[in-house]
Amino acid sequence: MIFGLDNGFTLLLVVVGMALSLAASAFVKSTYSKYDKIQSKKRVTGTQAAQYILKNQDIHNVGVQGIAGDLTDNYNSGTKILSLSQSTAQSTSVAAIGVAAHECGHAVQDAVGYAPLRIRAAIVPIANLGSAISMPLILIGLFLRGSFLVNLGILAFSMAFVFQVVTLPVEFNASRRALAILGEGGLLTEEELPMARKVLTAAALTYVAAAITTLLQLLRLIVIANNRRN
């Protein structure tokens, strides 16, 4: 392949990846904003919903706390802490309850030993290390024309893609659990459940976009490496 075409192709991969990430981020923010304006009929806050769900699921070793930021909600299986952002913790909106329930879904996964969650937790250190050392290895390998270092760098970066792939079933499953719990527990009405589903679907798409973006970046590195070797 001509060098100029290689450059154009790798640039296209970067542009497509950025566009996907921006589109997914904009979509989740707009969807959350839309349903954050609709107050749930039960008028429970995100924190109250999380506490109720954890108790209902017989999970007593998980703490609920507030954290700064918007849509920074997360569950830490290591510390057994469920953190809700400011936009979720004290809000009584359908969107906030949906997000809080999603994080509870992760806590339920942890409690029942959901395999993909355990696999993801196990590969986090490897994925983080791979992301940190991949580019230095590739750059040094290209500079020294050392195929081994380049290949090792690409292999290290591929662990970030593996992490993104494993994350997908974890996130989709947490949302399914959340919607089932919300329906059974009566925290949301039949009219409100589809709204929460739209919020969680939009959030899940950000993980799909992240996986595709990481894959495109991996392909870009492979193309650049092959081009320099030739």
Kindly list the distances between the CA atom of residue 127 and the CA atoms of 41, 130, 222, in Å, as whole numbers in the listed order.
42, 5, 18
Residue type, 177: R
Q: Which of 103, 171, 191, 192 is catalytic?
A: 103
Q: Is 192 an annotated catalytic residue?
A: no
Q: Which residues contact 174 (CB under 8 A, 6 or more apart)?
A: 102, 103, 105, 106, 108, 109
Query: Which positions are annotated as active-site residues?
Result: 103
